[in-house]
A = this chain, B = another copy of it.
Amino acid sequence: MKFTERVHKKYESQWERMLSHPFIEELSGGRLSDEIFDFWAMQDYIFVREAIRFFSVLMARFPRQYQKPFQQTLAGLEHELQLFTDYASKRRIELDKVEPTPICHAYNSFLLASAYHEDVDANFVILYTAEKAYHEAWKKVRAGLKKGTPYEGFIENWAGEMFRQYVDWLEAELNSMTDGYPASRLAKLDEIFLLTVRYEYLFWEMAYNRLQWI
């Protein structure tokens, strides 16, 4: 069985729990409070800004054939920063004063540590899992909302056709890379998948409860 099929089956309950987090449920239902969404936007701005570092190390370490598509992804990450800047400007949020919460800092640290420390395949798993999680979460939001919400830029970015193609490509490449892997290595990659899902869940949880350093 393909790697992604297998891990989605193995960790189906964790994946579902992440996708049905109250943050996503209320956002899809058009009833999430502005304060909570603002808090998420400020933290995700930090997250994306720091994830550019994770991504740059991956550009360094991956085989040459990934560099051109990854340069497009990098441009996409800069576009996401612009989406947050535009949103913050409308909401009169001063993004340059925002500091990462512990969970935002932890997730970014996990990405960065892995970029340098883990082998290429493990980093591919993290990248795929995080992008797939966002794609599915925002498709759910798109399905629940009418046009004209303040979230349209985000919906178009993560639920749109270009992002879908990007996630499909990641999935196909990851499955190809891990084809024929021994069980011991798959066990390690499964752990990395689960860790990433857990951090995704914690990120929604942090935003929903506005969790700060204590």
Contact = CB atoms under 8 A, between A and B. Distances in A.
B56 A60 contact: yes
Interface stretch (A104-112, A134-142, A145-153): A104-112
Interface of A is mostly: helix
Interface string A89-108: 00000000000001101101
Contact of A74 (B71, B180, B205): B71
Contacts of A67: 52
A56 B56 contact: yes
Interface residues of A, number: 39
B117 A53 contact: yes
A49 interface: yes
Nearest to A74: B71
Interface in A61-91: 61, 64, 67-68, 71, 74-75, 78
Interface of A: 49, 52-54, 56-57, 59-61, 64, 67-68, 71, 74-75, 78, 102-103, 105-106, 108-110, 112-113, 115-117, 119-120, 180, 182, 195, 198, 201-202, 205, 213-214
